[in-house]
Amino acid sequence: MIRAGIVGGTGYTGVELLRLLLPHPEVTVQVITSRAEAGERVDTHFPNLRGMCDLCYTAPDPEILAKLDVVFFATPHGVAMDSAPELLAHDVRVIDLGADFRLADAEVFAHWYGMAHRAPEALRAACYGLPEYFREHIAQSRLIANPGCYPTAVILGFAPLLEAGLLHQDTLIADCKSGVSGAGRTGRVNLIVPEAADSVAAYGVSGHRHRPEIEATLSKLSGETIELQFTPHLMPMIRGIHATLYGQLQQPLSDAALQALFAERYAQEPFVDVLPFGSHPATRSVRGANVCRIAVHQPRPGQVVVLSVIDNLVKGAAGQAVQNMNRMFALPESLGLTQIALLP
Ligand SMILES: NC(=O)C1=CN([C@@H]2O[C@H](COP(=O)(O)OP(=O)(O)OC[C@H]3O[C@@H](n4cnc5c(N)ncnc54)[C@H](OP(=O)(O)O)[C@@H]3O)[C@@H](O)[C@H]2O)C=CC1
Ligand SMILES: CC(=O)N[C@@H](CCC(=O)OP(=O)(O)O)C(=O)O
């Protein structure tokens, strides 16, 4: 059995990790941390776990974490980088759901996250944990940077086109919507019901920290320098990300050829579902499931629109982290991740 620990167990992604790991046949969760709730039973805070979980929160203790096989950091940016080097030295695998190891360039990280990178050596050893594109590297890595939620939806939607060099690079737009759980449990004041319900607003239009993550990954996959306009919006829903991606083809391509590109690229992927051409996937079709549903459109010759939906807490965070863990421990990638989405 893999002995696992979760740092940040009172947050949304930490509890989502617990929901997925408790029934996982090859994992035993031995540690779940909270500084504020140390000593409290987890199921007093999350009654959905009653009868499934006897764990109590403990304060993060490096000596205890160092005895585990894998530690998930479901913590704000800047936390994992202070613990990861020591854990790695004790042969503990680390999966960071935050952004500490996502941007390979420490200076780019410092610019977007407003803090110097304090573990540059670990940063160099980290692998970007998007299994559909970096599966082999993940299997050999001991430190995984779990991708951001928006980047997961955007990269999975754009990558087949960019890998094939089919799009003009100066016309790319990612117009995205997120549910409020994307901001975390201790989210901002504008995420409380009276402020967030019955309203939609864009934010971060001039620059959001997920833009460099998306651009760096798509540049790596395409071999070109990719720049795009990324516009996130806050939606009055709890879970879900909907990405509408726009691009212009460099040369004419039939609808059937576009569809075949996506269908073939993801044919063997257990967690990417390519819908029939011209479909309209809804976030409710992925709620609670580790899946990205994608649909391709060509409204006018040469104009491509890709729709990509995920649950931000599952394929956008905890589910993808478990997928990465499975890969790191040479387990079947789908183990413990075959939940069907909750509908309605
Ligand atoms: N919400 C989402 O949809 C997604 C989130 N992420 C990323 O995952 C990470 C966690 O997000 P989320 O679950 O939403 O966050 P929350 O704000 O809901 O929870 C954060 C957790 O971290 C703990 N924590 C905070 N500071 C520290 C610290 N210095 N040391 C140890 N523990 C700490 C908190 O518990 P306590 O203070 O009691 O210790 C709490 O349990 C973030 O980096 C986020 O950006 C990634 C993809 C999607
Ligand atoms: C709705 C909302 O506020 N979403 C968050 C991103 C969610 C996320 O988890 O991103 P990281 O892992 O990079 O923090 C935001 O835009 O800042």
ipTM of the complex: 0.97
Give the ligand 1 atom nearest the CA of 9. Answer: 41
Rounded CA-CA distance 265/64 in Å is 42
Nearest CA to 212 among 95, 106, 65?
Answer: 106
Q: Do residues 276 and 213 make contact, with C-beta atoms less than 8 angstroms apart? A: no
Mean pLDDT within 284-304: 98
Q: Edge-to-edge, what's the strand order for the sheet holding 303-310?
A: 201-202, 229-234, 173-178, 241-248, 303-310, 292-300, 272-274
Task: Work out the pLDDT band at 139, boundaries 50, 70, 90.
Answer: very high
Burial of 238 (C-beta count, 10 Å sphere; 0-12/13-18/19+): middle
How close is the Cα of 183 to the center of ligand 2, in Å?
A: 5
Q: Is 281 in the pocket of ligand 2 (CB under 6 A)?
A: no
Torsion of CA 168, 170, 245, 111, to 10 degrees: 140
Rounded CA-CA distance 125/121 in Å is 7
Among 13, 57, 61, name the best residue to mutate to test ligand 1's pocket (greatest count of ligand atoms within 8 A of Cβ).
13
Domain ranges of the chain: 2-125, 149-311
Rounded CA-CA distance 204/184 in Å is 17
Q: Is 148 in the pocket of ligand 2 (CB under 6 A)?
A: yes
Mean pLDDT within 233-246: 97
User: Which SS3 state, helix, strand or coil, does residue 161 take?
Assistant: helix
pTM of the model: 0.97
Compute how many other C-beta atoms are within 10 angstroms of the C-beta atom of residue 166.
Answer: 19
Mean pLDDT within 321-336: 98
Q: Both tokens of residue 278?
A: 């011209």
Q: Is 313 in the pocket of ligand 2 (CB under 6 A)?
A: no
Residue type, 85: P
Which residue's CA lies nearest to atom 12 of ligand 2?
148
Residue type, 214: I
Give the ligand 1 atom nearest the CA of 186. Answer: 17
Residues 6+ apart with CB under 8 A from 213: 99, 102, 103, 147, 148, 151
Q: Do residues 138 and 328 make contact, with C-beta atoms less than 8 angstroms apart? A: yes
Give the ligand 2 atom nearest the CA of 99. Answer: 13
How close is the Cα of 312 to the center of ligand 1, in Å?
A: 14
Q: Is 99 in the pocket of ligand 2 (CB under 6 A)?
A: yes
Which ranges of the chain does DSSP label H, i.e. alpha helix? 12-21, 42-45, 62-65, 80-89, 106-113, 120-125, 131-139, 149-163, 193-196, 210-222, 255-265, 319-328
Rounded CA-CA distance 61/209 in Å is 30
273-282 pLDDT, tens digit per residue, is 999 999 999 9
Longest C-alpha distance within the chain, in Å?
63
Q: Is 234 in the pocket of ligand 2 (CB under 6 A)?
A: yes
Q: Both tokens of residue 312?
A: 């931000």
Report the pLDDT value the prediction gives residue 343, as an integer from 0 to 100: 94
Task: Work out the pLDDT band at 288, boundaries 50, 70, 90.
Answer: very high
Q: Among all chains, which residue has been given the structure tokens 């696992």?
A: 4
Ligand nearest to the CA of 317: 1
pLDDT at 188 over 80: no
Rounded CA-CA distance 22/20 in Å is 6
Catalytic residue among 53, 127, 149, 176: 149
Compute how many other C-beta atoms are within 10 angstroms of the C-beta atom of residue 61.
Answer: 12
pLDDT at 189 over 90: no
Which residue's CA lies nearest to atom 10 of ligand 2?
148
Mean pLDDT within 174-192: 85
pLDDT at 43 over 90: yes
What CATH number does the domain located at 2-125 have?
3.40.50.720
How close is the Cα of 153 to the center of ligand 1, in Å?
A: 20
pLDDT at 191 over 80: no
Q: In whole angstroms, how far apart are CA 97 and each of 8, 11, 200, 314, 327?
A: 10, 12, 26, 11, 16
What superfamily does domain 149-311 belong to in CATH?
A: Dihydrodipicolinate Reductase; domain 2 (3.30.360.10)
Question: Is 176 in the active site?
Answer: no
pLDDT at 319 over 70: yes
Q: Both tokens of residue 309?
A: 């939906």
